[in-house]
Structure 1
Amino acid sequence: MTLAQAQTSDEQELREDLAAAFRLAVKFGWHESVGNHFSVAVSDDGSKFLMNPKWRHFSDIKASDLLLLDATDDAVMEREDAPDPSAWCIHGTVHRSNPAARVLFHCHAPNATALATLQDPTLKPIDLNTARFYGKVAIDLGFGGMADEAEEGRRIAETLGNKPILIMGNHGVSVAAATVAEAFEHLYFFERAAETLLKAYSTGQPLAVMSDNLAAKTAAEWEPYVGMGYAHFAHLKRELDRTQPDYRD
């Protein structure tokens, strides 16, 4: 196989994984109308990346539908097939400034979004899933409306930094990772963790919050389980292959 063929093969694999993530987001109820966006870089510097087209429902997205964008191209938004302005603002800026965030999911998943509306949206470590993210969550409380200004994009990218999770106050959540499978697993567990915390809050009883040492220990104990995310995503893709095989087209 030539280098060009290998690169084409790698991009097709990324397209299929990202298309699968959109379909699965519908399965888990994380989508919202025809908005929200997932992206994945296809170049090492993050500048070339794939993202869903403007106003396409997640359930319809196929691998071939994904836009190949250049985060350094200022003329992107002038073209007929320009992406959603807010998506370009967030994803273009993060991919351009933070190559380590190869995959970026932004959505308004119900529980994560509800958590983001609290005056204190901290994900407190009260069980295994909430403690999984101890020390790994950034919080942005600088909401300024729709994220369609360059300064908004820069602030979001800087606040995310090297963390895998960004709680966007009054907005939603963004998840960063090195692979689509890891990003999907982060989002899956963060949404579960947010649900657990919100249910605990709803009882009105005091929370049994872990000590910093115990939370850090629990978070570290999750690290060897990274393969669990790959197995989970592979299982879910096999389900899609049986029920919605056109995601790969």
Structure 2
Amino acid sequence: MSREDLVPIPEEELIFRLPVPFTDPAIERRHRKERLAAALRLFGRFGFEEGVAGHITARDPEFPDHFWVNPFGMSFKHVKVSDLLLVNHNGHVVQGRHRVNRAAFAIHSAVHAARPDAVGAAHSHSVYGKALSATGQRLEPLTQDACAFYEDHGCYENYSGVANDPEEGRRIAEALGGHKAVILRNHGLLTAAGSVDAAAYWFITMERSAQAQLAAKAAGPTIQIPHEEAKVTYAQVGFDLAGWFQFQPLFDQISRTDPDLFD
């Protein structure tokens, strides 16, 4: 190699992934289901399971009042594309072999109904999300990553037991509003986004941001990022496409290590 070979490559010739547009709902359905199964495997890998609690959903592209969800009682670490359930707006399984978690239906059906823009939604009983939810705190702008949620997450403050009641789901959806996330008091975290990819990533990074906040406050006084800088950072890292893009290396990782998830 000589110095003459060191010619800048035009930016448009460099690899930079963006979401692929779909015209065939069957192909888009398969894509969403693969992302959903991969997200569930990642949640299992990151230790977000707590028994049978937790669920991620993907709105069906052809029947938007239906969503795909993980089977009740199956480990996140074992879910495959072929295991996913298609559930209608009444909570009935119309495709699949397993029962649906009633809390998954109550919460996610309300979120998808209230948020037509939400293709994906994620909730689990992760340790630091639960811990933060028990303190009454919101996520503070203590780190760059936490700024993705700056003024963009709600708090549902009325814990009333396992969320099996559709009315409870509607109240949770109301607390979520137009935000990307909501902290469920004494319960955990919930995220929603325009793709399964982004919904899963927002949950993962919100859980880690909760961990960072709890650790920082345990260590001593904390210093928040000032309002203007937090808003600028939010604009840089908190938009939906950013969440989608951040998920891609995780999808690549789980695809390589767990190829059976595509069965």
TM-score by length of 2: 0.84
Q: Equivalents in 1 of 2:35, 2:175: separation in Å?
A: 27
- Give 1:46 shift: 3.5
Does residue 239 in structure 1 map to residue 253 in structure 2? yes
Alignment of 1:55-204 (within 5 A): 55-71=73-89, 73=90, 81-118=98-135, 120-203=136-219
CA distance in structure 1 between the aligned counterparts of 2:67 and 2:92, rounded to whole angstroms: 15
Whole-angstrom distance in 2 between the partners of 1:80 and 1:248: 17
Q: Residues of 1 paired with 2:156 and 2:65: CA distance?
A: 24
CA contact (8 A) 2:91 2:105 kept: no
Shift of 1:97: 2.6
Q: In 1, Cα distance between the equivalents of 2:79 and 2:250?
A: 16
Distance 1:146 1:23, change over 3 A: same
Q: Cα distance 1:74–1:134, how it changes in 2: closer, same or farther (>3 A)? A: closer
Mind listing any 5+ residue stretches in structure 2 that lack a counterpart? 1-22
Structure 1 131/234 Cα, relative in aligned 2: closer, same or farther at 3 Å? closer
Residues 230-239 or 44-53, more deviating:
230-239
1:215 aligned residue: 230
The C-alpha deviation readout for 1:48-98, integer Å capped at 9, x for no partner, is: 110011111111100111111112x36559x98441111111012212232
* CA contact 1:52–1:66 (8 Å) conserved in 2: yes
SS of match in other structure, 2:24? helix
Q: Which runs of 5+ in 1 are unaligned?
A: none
Q: Which of 46, 60, 65 is matched with 1:47 structurally?
A: 65
Q: Is the radius of gyration larger for structure 1 or structure 2?
A: 2
Partners of 1:159 and 1:6 in 2: how far apart? 34
Say what the alpha-carbon RMSD is for the aligned residues: 2.3
- Partners of 1:44 and 1:211 lie apart in 2 by 44
The amino acid of 2:124's aligned partner reads C
Residues of 2 paired with 1:231 and 1:168: CA distance?
26
1:242 maps to a residue whose letter is: R
Report how many residues are paired: 240
Q: CA deviation at 1:231?
A: 4.5
Secondary structure, in 3 states, of the residue corresponding to 2:197? helix
Relative distance call for 1:49 and 1:115 in structure 2 (3 A) is: same
CA–CA separation in structure 1 for the residues paired with 2:106 and 2:57: 13
User: How far off its partner does 1:45 sit?
Assistant: 7.2
CA distance in structure 1 between the aligned counterparts of 2:36 and 2:151, rounded to whole angstroms? 27
Deviations 1:27-47 (A, max 9, x none): 111122232100010137731
Call closer, same or farther: CA 1:74–1:55 in 2, change over 3 Å.
closer
Secondary structure of the 1:132 match is helix
Paired position in structure 2 for 1:26: 44
Partner-residue secondary structure (3-state), 1:146: coil
- Percent pairwise identity: 31
Q: 1:221 to 1:243 in 2, by over 3 A?
A: closer
Using the TM superposition, give the Cα deviation of residue 132 of structure 1 relative to its aligned residue in structure 2, in angstroms. Answer: 2.2
TM-score w.r.t. structure 1 length?
0.88
